Structure 1
């Protein structure tokens, strides 16, 4: 049965944590007249919270499993964005090579840095 497959309390708690941090940051940035920066601040704040938590004690496996389920199931949310991106790319014309260079550079460098950090953190856990 599909309903028994998931750890619903962990999923709800993870969603609540994400929404609470994000909405708090959007509200806070709204006070500074820049609510569009709330998502970025929320992402950074959540990352900082999880890093500090990880330094104090390990993250609960239930939370990690819930995060894995959320990431797997949310992949389909990006399909409309992908379709819009393809339409936009067709209209770039001569600017397409520069756009693709910037896109690849701004994606690959952070991913490479993240992989290096993850490799270092994983080797410290042993």
Structure 2
């Protein structure tokens, strides 16, 4: 007996639209201030603020949380090509590798860890 997986398409579409709309609106707003490079960060923080407020006023739907968890698990594979490119770049850096790794650690892992802690506590 084969079991067909049920995909909650409205939740997937809604979650993706929520993420895309916040990101694109933030990039547009920050472009108006001549800083489009801050669009992703502003979008992330504004979406986090909206979800935090939403959670304080009422419960976030389980469908939204489940879909977000699945998206986060599946999106990890998107970083594989970036990792391969980074390894190739590292082989050409020579003595600059330690400084590069420190900058990479500080600018990537620590903010992701802090964001995960905030999301776990507030959402």
TM-score range, shorter chain: 0.7 to 0.9
Residues 34 and 100 of structure 1: CA distance in aligned 2, closer, same or farther (over 3 Å): same
Gaps of 5+ in 2: none
Structure 1's unaligned 5+ residue stretches are none
Change (3 A) 1:111 1:74: closer
Q: What is the root-mean-square deviation of aligned Cα atoms in Å?
A: 2.6
Normalised by the length of structure 2, the TM-score is 0.82
Structure 1 residue ranges, 4+ long, deviating more than 3 angstroms after superposition: 1-4, 105-119
Q: 1:89 to 1:41 in 2, by over 3 A?
A: same
Cα 1:108–1:34 shift into 2, 3 Å: closer
Aligned to 1:50: 51
The structure showing larger relative contact order (alpha-carbon pairs under 8 Å, at least 6 residues apart) is 2
Q: How many residue pairs end up in the alignment?
A: 122
Shift of 1:35: 1.4
Cα displacement (A) at 1:3: 7.5
Post-superposition offset of 1:21: 0.5
Q: Which deviations, in whole Å up to 9, do the C-alpha atoms of 1:24-73 show, x marking residues without a partner?
A: 01111111122121111101111111111111122110000110111122
What's the counterpart of residue 27 of structure 1?
A: 28
Normalising by structure 1, report the TM-score. Answer: 0.81
Aligned equivalents of 1:2 and 1:11: distance in 2?
Answer: 21
